[in-house]
Amino acid sequence: MNILHINYSDFSGGSAIACSRLHSALLKKNINSWMAVCNSNFKQKNILTFSNKKNKFEYLLKKNTSRLILKFFENKNKVDYSISFFNNPIFKEILGLEFDIINFHWIGNETLSLKQLSSFKKPKIWTLLDMWPFLGAEHINYSYKSKFDYWNNSEILDKQFFEINKWMLKRKMKYYDSNIKLVSISRWLANKASESLLFRDKEIDVIPCTLDFEIWRPLERTIARKILNIENKKTILFSSSGGTWNYNKGFNLLVKALKNFKNLKDIHLVILGKLKKSDLKNLEISFTEIPKVFFGDVANLINIYSSVDLVVIPSLIEAFGQVALEAASCNVPTVAFKNTGVTEIIEHKKNGYLAEFNNSEDLFNGINWCLEDYNLQLLKNNSREIALKKFSNDLIVKKYQKIYEDIL
């Protein structure tokens, strides 16, 4: 069985990490897995990317043209967009190779045009990693703000005026192959997809992301803290590759929650991602900023997770929450909101706390409850054990293997 995974990158971004981990897990089980990517650091086996310089130059020209077009919309709406308009020349190089199944993952940044998406003649699977596959051009839609939107309401979609998301959704309706098998990384994301005009009649399997627990193991906390020079306090981690000004990641909600503590002198905040200094204005708390993004740097990430007591993920939209899974592998519980993909990982008051959605008061309740000594020790004891039962390589590979065999 030969599987080709198509993703923009094999190392940069959450989708790349998720796809690469699945690819590696399949290889460990002697399943012939390959990745085709536009952006590679060449650190894995069976990676296909541009070997022809002319093709790579053509791709970069098309990608940069697309980014230039989208810059106006992204600046206006503060959301990433992809239009998948240009054919990617990388597939001139690899389409002649023999694969039994094509598994799409994150295909933004002109990884594939919509025409190419439907042109593959082999059986196709699409692993949904964010909302883009069933939206228009945007990768996130704050759909909790309104009951109906263009992506799930045909009356709104049919109103006669140009809007990039409507234009893009109609292109998807034209080009999508109805035979693509859909797999979602969380029940939350699958439910959102099922509400959409594109996928409301489609069967969607749920298979979460995986983690290699042989590699992801906790370090002794005092050693980890010494490396990072963190004081001996109750320590909270906030992680965002886009920094604290990424509205979706909810750093403002975390700050509001922390302001409810009468005394913050015994709490230390670790920020993984660039801090906008004004975001901590009027909050008297010690903190450590780690501005570098450690995508794929397992050793550094394990050290960071092992140094903290609690992870807080106040995201308003989160398709899965790999940070929570990585933290759990290091015996660290997580506080997050209900109605996000993190609920796939967190069991309330067993390995973390699920606060009422978009509610900073209950976020405070969760942080406060988790940091109590007895509760914290109980949560830490459960975190890795629960994660092992739900997200191990063996379990996730078996689920994908069944889908691959069924589709063949």
Three-class DSSP category at 214: coil
> What is the predicted pLDDT for the residue at 335?
98
Mean pLDDT of 94-120: 92
Amino acid code (one letter) for 120: F
pLDDT in tens, 147-163: 568 899 888 888 766 68
Q: What tokens appear for 277 in the block? A: 């200094």
**What pLDDT does residue 161 have?**
61
pTM for this one?
0.95
Residues 16, 87: contact at Cβ < 8 Å? no
Q: Calculate the alpha carbon distances from 259 to 232, 285, 312, 365, 368 in Å.
A: 21, 10, 15, 12, 12
Cβ–Cβ contacts within 10 Å for residue 402, how many? 12
Domains of the chain, residue spans: 2-210+393-407, 221-391
**Same fold for the pair 2-210+393-407 and 221-391:** yes
Mean of pLDDT over the chain: 94
Q: What number of CA atoms fall less than 13 Å from residue 135's CA on the CB side?
A: 25
Measured in whole angstroms, the distance separating CA 154 from the mean position of its chain's CA atoms is 28
CATH class of 221-391: alpha beta
Query: To which H or E segment does residue 396 belong?
Result: helix 393-407
| Predicted local confidence at residue 311, as pLDDT | 98
d(Cα 350, Cα 199) in Å, to the nearest integer? 34
Residue 320, pLDDT > 80, answer: yes
Architecture of domain 2-210+393-407: 3-Layer(aba) Sandwich (3.40)
- pLDDT tens digits, 25-74: 999 999 999 999 999 998 899 999 999 999 999 999 999 999 999 988 87
- Per residue in 262-281, pLDDT tens? 999 999 999 999 999 899 98
